[in-house]
A and B are shown apart, each in its own frame.
Chain A
Amino acid sequence: KAGVTQTPRYLIKTRGQQVTLSCSPISGHRSVSWYQQTPGQGLQFLFEYFSETQRNKGNFPGRFSGRQFSNSRSEMNVSTLELGDSALYLCASSLAVLTSTDTQYFGPGTRLTVL
């Protein structure tokens, strides 16, 4: 079974631009979560989607948004990029709504560099 895929793997943008990252979950998984990883802040939760609905959102500004499609694929968008948005963005999928017994499987990540 194929794992979680993320595209693109690497991205370079300049301040003020916007970017869209894509994530395809493991087949049959309906929940997709996004995380931002930086050396200073570590791994921080962005949002979780299940059945095209955002179920949970982390403490990030409104410039960060996402959506999920009917096939469970998800995209996240960052508008008006700032230097501090440079990070590894990880997508994870799980079978259903995240509970204490459900394992999240991660993709390889998209490394975003903002110049």
Chain B
Amino acid sequence: AQKITQTQPGMFVQEKEAVTLDCTYDTSDPSYGLFWYKQPSSGEMIFLIYQGSYDQQNATEGRYSLNFQKARKSANLVISASQLGDSAMYFCAMTTNSGNTPLVFGKGTRLSVIA
């Protein structure tokens, strides 16, 4: 079974600074996908970025990039030039191709951006 670990319950970052949110994963399946979602206080889960296990390059989407280190089984999210609107819960999740595997989430990191 796959598992996602997010060790930072909460983080603070100054506006306009970059921040890294940690995520480690565990799976025995060689084919998997890693996802990051943002959940503002309104509750909706907003998809941010995706990284496939066979992707050669780190994924990037605007101010979001994923620092994928396969050997270390880590998939850290980097947010550049933080904005006040980035304050939210951030979840790392994964799924695999073996069997019927649902999306498995970590416990999340609450990011607070300070002006």
Number of A-B contacts (CB under 8 A): 65
From the candidates B42, B91, B95, name the one contacting A100 in the complex (CB within 8 A): B95
B90 at the interface (CB under 8 A from A): no
Interface residues on chain B, number (Cβ under 8 Å): 28
A70 at the interface (CB under 8 A from B): no
A65 at the interface (CB under 8 A from B): no
Report Cα–Cα, A22/B2, bound state, in Å.
Answer: 29
B64 at the interface (CB under 8 A from A): no
Interface size of A as a range: 20 to 34
Task: Identify the interface centre among B31, B91, B102, B105: most chain A CB within 10 Å of its CB.
Answer: B102
Binding site for A on B (CB under 8 A): 29, 31-33, 35, 37, 42-47, 50, 52-53, 91, 95-97, 100-108
Binding site for B on A (CB under 8 A): 33, 35, 42-43, 45, 48, 55-56, 58, 88, 90, 92, 98-109, 111
